[in-house]
Amino acid sequence: MEAGRQGRSPQIWALALALAMTLTGCQSKGGVSEVLDPAAVAAPAGQNGAAGAGPAQASQSLGTGSAKVTMLLPLSAPGTSGETGRKMRDGAKLAMTDIGNGLLTLTIEDTKGDSAQASKLAVQAITTGSKVVIGPTELPSAQHIATLSGSKRPPVLALADNFAGGAGVYAVRLSEADSAAAGAAGLAAKGSKKFVLLVAEGSNASAVEKRVANGLSIYGATLAVTVPYSAGDSGAKAVDQMGSLVDAPDAVIIASGDGSPAPVLAALKSKGIPGKAISVVGTDRWLEHPMDPLFEGAYIATLDPGETGPISDRFRTAYNYPADVNVAYAYDMVALTAGIASAVGPDGFSKQVLENPNGFRGSTGLFRFRADGSSQRSMPFYRIEKGALKLVAKSTSGF
């Protein structure tokens, strides 16, 4: 690590050295037609502006470096969306102070929380010379950008929640698939061998199944069966089906998607699960719902919302409020971008570099990007006890 290097944080991270050693090529320069198919640049249909959004904030430019980077944040959006955007802006500003000011010219644009506006700004950034786009946070916009053509399109480090990723459009935030895989791996590492996956039907179900199966195989464990269930299912049908398909699993994984896992947990409880012989593994999506007594005893792999690594103290000093995971995501993406620019120059943002299988270590822990745009993370492993997360292991991962 580069601890003690002047002008950089204590964890600026071995990125430059690791990236320089793994670099195999650089992006070439090209015109607009080479970057993006002009026929594909329209914003998604049917997306309206965010109700109640405040006046758009003027774009802000930070740093004087030769690598042009655009960051798309919902700075003037109402409610929690705008609060998240402003926290991410402050995280980005700290990363620029720590490492980026002499390497990047970072332009922060306000999407207002409007997916159509975010898509428009992303296309503008893509077609006017940005080497990297960080954001957007709006899921429909991230999904739209992933459909745009252009083999020389600059990479997009999308900050949208529950985004699955796409070629060259990388999902930054922890996904349910990664949380499920890491949670299952945490038990497999302790000797559990046979697992069942109960997964909410939807576009992410197959990704969750694939990630869990791959993660378990690393530990010599198996995913015996996957049982999808619908949002309207009370859970009883899926649990009965599970019982008819597999005998005596060591653990049941519940990937509940947008819905609460409580109905499925109630159906499992009627069968004596969890118990001495069978454990339950949840995902980070559970934590979007109020902590239910039915969650008791389940294992979950998720980021520690109170742990933002070495940036915590300096961030609080600079901005007079505590850093959270949103601050950390933004900090990490700006610092990663600066690290690449430092290692290989402003044209060094190639797939080979960004998809380095060794991954990168930031304030959110160890992570890496895959060719399909998804991310994989190492994270703490918890057990829910008395309505709270109790640490079982400081780090687990399904890769």
The predicted structure's pLDDT at residue 48: 37
Please report where in the chains the tokens 């002499």 appear, as a residue. Answer: 102
Backbone φ and ψ of 30, nearest 5° = -160, 165
User: Does this model's pTM top 0.85?
Assistant: no
CA distance 330 to 54: 22
How far is C-alpha 36 from the chain's CA centre? 25
CA distance 121 to 85: 15
CA distance 184 to 205: 16
The predicted structure's pLDDT at residue 151: 66
pLDDT per residue as tens, the chain (399 positions): 333 333 443 344 443 333 333 333 333 333 222 333 333 333 333 333 333 456 777 789 999 999 999 999 999 999 999 999 999 999 999 999 999 999 999 999 999 999 999 999 999 999 999 999 999 999 999 999 999 877 678 999 999 998 989 999 999 999 999 999 999 999 999 999 999 999 999 888 999 999 999 999 999 999 999 999 997 777 889 999 999 999 999 999 999 999 999 999 999 999 999 999 999 999 999 999 999 999 999 999 999 866 676 798 999 999 999 999 999 999 999 999 999 999 999 999 999 999 999 999 888 888 999 999 999 999 999 999 999 999 999 999 988
In a 3-state reduction of DSSP, which class is residue 241? helix
The predicted structure's pLDDT at residue 232: 76
Among the listed residues 361, 351, 397, the one whose alpha carbon sits nearest the alpha carbon of residue 26: 351
CA distance 288 to 298: 15
116-151 burial: b if 16+ Cβ within 10 Å, else e: bbbbbbbbebbbeebbbbbbbbbbbbbbbbbebebe
Task: Record the tokens describing residue 393, joined without a space.
Answer: 């292991």
CA distance 308 to 328: 6
